[in-house]
Amino acid sequence: MKKKRRRKCPHCRELFRPDPRNRHHQRYCSKAECQRASKATSQRRWLDKPANHEYFRGPAHVERVRRWRAVHPGYWRGAAQLPLPLQAVISVQATESTKETGFLVETPLQELSSGQPLVLMGLIAHLTGAALQEDIARTTRGLRQLAEDILGGRSASPVPERGNRDAGAAPAA
């Protein structure tokens, strides 16, 4: 078996074992500052070649950059302009006592749907085109309110099956 040779990093001057996949050309160790030094050396070496002195200059390169920018509009604005994902924007806020504000607090989607099959939630999402829990919850609350309005303000209760009208009634004593 061949013994792995160690090399001295030109930046930090410490011995290291090159990665077996890159041992034939790895000169710098894997420390972050040494990798930055490797990149700087590589760029300097590339720019020192006479053929590369004018690489970014001249009318041909100006036109090349113009074409690239036309194909990639908005690239230079960067990620700083992108909207934050919904999960990063929403922060949990503590509510006051539910005794005083219970009628103002909206029920979270998880509690609304705990007794309902997931198929119903999928159906609501499909019919409304909504994919966010907030939108599905709003629709579910609206549908629930509509059902309560239809029932005359009573809370929805299980409807007895046809032909078994006394199923919901208490047994006679």
Q: What is the pLDDT of residues 118-153, one digit of tens each?
A: 777 778 887 888 777 888 888 888 888 888 888 876
**Of the residues 73, 91, 125, which one is the last residue of a structural domain?**
73
CA distance 67 to 75: 13
- Look up residue 131 and give its DSSP letter: -
Residues 110 and 69 both lie in one domain = no
Q: Is residue 94 part of a domain?
A: no
* Contact of 17 with 4, CB cutoff 8 Å: yes
CA distance 34 to 11: 6
Tally of domains within the chain: 2
- Look up residue 44 and give its DSSP letter: H
**Of the residues 53, 73, 93, which one is the last residue of a structural domain?**
73
pTM above 0.75, yes or no: no
Q: What domain range is 41 assigned to?
A: 7-73
* Contact of 124 with 140, CB cutoff 8 Å: yes
pLDDT one-digit tens code per residue, 53-67: 888 788 888 898 889
Residues 12 and 62 both lie in one domain = yes
Residues 61 and 113 both lie in one domain = no
pLDDT at 27: 93
CA distance 10 to 152: 83
Name the helix (H) or strand (E) containing 111. Answer: helix 109-112
Q: How confident is the model at residue 36 (pLDDT cuts 50, 70, 90)?
A: very high
